[in-house]
């Protein structure tokens, strides 16, 4: 039987970001890598940030992105590493991690670490890129949130907390940025086929006490109406659109790309 919701061909929309510079965090893998590639394909100059050097090198070879190695959990040093790269027109806060554990066993340091990487680092970057955007009278900030910025799931206390906080930051940027031509939005995917999710399949199997083979169907896709994982390129297409002139009236909102999860 053919699926009613096949993965669409990539880069179906002609988007023009020539003359723009975009900074993408977590660009070495998964969604960030696809976003960096998509923005570069639309003509943007891309500054690609990740804590790992090697994937950034191959991304640079593939797309011409400028690699910057920075660990966003060390906020001050990350800002130092990014010195000279604040004059960007587009910021995509994407870097993120997951930790799956019940609340009464959740490691406090891990909780704090996740808030640092997924809330404080986006705040630091927003703060540094806004002056250039304000003086240019144009800017696009896209925060990669999640359905977990809109809904909770058990065993993901730190991640759900961080994504809800990111939603608040994004809306505040939208309000302050509007008079300066700056938009800020969240993109909210359900489960995307990336290394982060592949790692979660193992962790969820252990936490729920079920085989790994059952995790995608029984845990990850129960809430979605469309029963497949999202491809990173589908998320990148949406992010790239939000970075265009055409998307200038979209701000302060959260665009779900979740196969109907949040329709519940």
What are the residue numbers of the active site? 159
According to the binding rule CB under 6 A, does residue 52 interact with ligand NAD? yes
* 17, 20, 28, 238: residue in contact with ligand NAD (rule CB under 6 A): 28
* Closer residue to ligand NAD in complex, CB, 28/67: 28
According to the binding rule CB under 6 A, does residue 146 interact with ligand NAD? yes
**Quick check: 161 and 118 in contact, CB under 8 A?**
no
* Closer residue to ligand NAD in complex, CB, 26/177: 26
**Quick check: 138 and 93 in contact, CB under 8 A?**
no
Please state the closest distance from residue 207 (CB atom) to ligand NAD, in A: 17
According to the binding rule CB under 6 A, does residue 95 interact with ligand NAD? yes
Q: Which span sits near ligand NAD by CB under 6 A: 6-14, 67-75, 80-88, 174-182?
A: 67-75
* Closer residue to ligand NAD in complex, CB, 89/159: 159
According to the binding rule CB under 6 A, does residue 154 interact with ligand NAD? no
Please state the closest distance from residue 61 (CB atom) to ligand NAD, in A: 16
According to the binding rule CB under 6 A, does residue 256 interact with ligand NAD? no
According to the binding rule CB under 6 A, does residue 50 interact with ligand NAD? yes
According to the binding rule CB under 6 A, does residue 259 interact with ligand NAD? no
Helices then strands, each counted (H, E), the chain? 9, 7
Which long-range contacts (C-beta less than 8 Å, at least 24 apart) are formed by 109-116? 110/158, 111/157, 111/158, 111/161, 113/73, 114/158, 114/159, 114/161, 114/162, 115/158, 115/161, 115/162, 115/165, 116/72, 116/73, 116/75
For the record, the structure tokens of 88 come out as 């960007």
According to the binding rule CB under 6 A, does residue 29 interact with ligand NAD? yes
Alpha carbons within 13 A on the beta-carbon side of 122:
31
Written in H, E and C, the secondary structure of 203-237 is: HHHHHHCCCHHHHHHHHHCCCCCCCCCECHHHHHH
Neighbours of 84 (CB within 10 A): 8
User: Alpha-carbon torsion 249, 177, 125, 188, what sign?
Assistant: negative
Beta bridge partners of 24: 48, 92
The site map against ligand NAD for 110-129 (x = CB under 6 A) is -------x------------
Tell me which residues in 211-250 interact with ligand NAD (CB under 6 A). none
The end-to-end CA distance of the chain, in Å, is 27
Please state the closest distance from residue 83 (CB atom) to ligand NAD, in A: 16
Tell me which residues in 192-211 interact with ligand NAD (CB under 6 A). 192, 194-197
Please state the closest distance from residue 134 (CB atom) to ligand NAD, in A: 26
Rounded distance between C-alpha atoms, residue 148 and residue 197, angstroms: 14
User: Alpha-carbon torsion 187, 188, 190, 195, what sign?
Assistant: positive
* 51, 140, 151, 171: residue in contact with ligand NAD (rule CB under 6 A): 51
* Interface ranges with ligand NAD (CB under 6 A): 26, 28-32, 50-52, 71-73, 94-97, 117, 144, 146, 189, 191-192, 194-197
């Amino acid at each position: 039987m053919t699926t009613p919701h096949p993965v669409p061909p990539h880069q179906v929309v002609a988007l023009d970001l020539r003359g723009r510079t975009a900074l993408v965090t977590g660009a070495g893998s998964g969604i960030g890598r696809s976003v960096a590639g998509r923005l570069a394909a639309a003509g943007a100059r891309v500054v690609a940030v990740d804590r790992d050097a090697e994937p950034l090198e191959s991304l640079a070879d593939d797309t011409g992105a400028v690699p910057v190695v920075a660990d966003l959990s060390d906020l001050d040093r990350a800002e130092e590493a990014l010195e000279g790269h604040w004059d960007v027109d587009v910021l995509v806060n994407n870097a993120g991690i997951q930790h799956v554990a019940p609340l009464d066993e959740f490691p406090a340091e891990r909780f704090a670490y996740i808030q640092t990487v997924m809330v404080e680092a986006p705040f630091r970057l927003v703060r540094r890129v806004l002056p250039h955007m304000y003086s240019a009278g144009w800017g696009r900030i896209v925060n990669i949130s999640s359905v977990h910025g809109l809904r909770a799931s058990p065993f993901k206390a730190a991640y759900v907390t961080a994504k809800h906080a990111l939603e608040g930051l994004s809306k505040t940027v939208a309000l302050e940025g509007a008079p300066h031509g700056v938009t800020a939005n969240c993109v909210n995917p359900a489960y995307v086929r990336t290394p982060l999710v592949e790692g979660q399949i193992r962790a969820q199997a252990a936490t729920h006490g079920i085989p790994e083979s059952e995790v995608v169907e029984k845990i990850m896709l129960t809430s979605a109406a469309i029963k497949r994982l999202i491809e990173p390129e589908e998320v990148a297409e949406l992010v790239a659109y939000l970075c265009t002139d055409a998307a200038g009236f979209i701000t302060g909102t959260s665009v779900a790309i979740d196969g109907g999860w949040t329709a519940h």
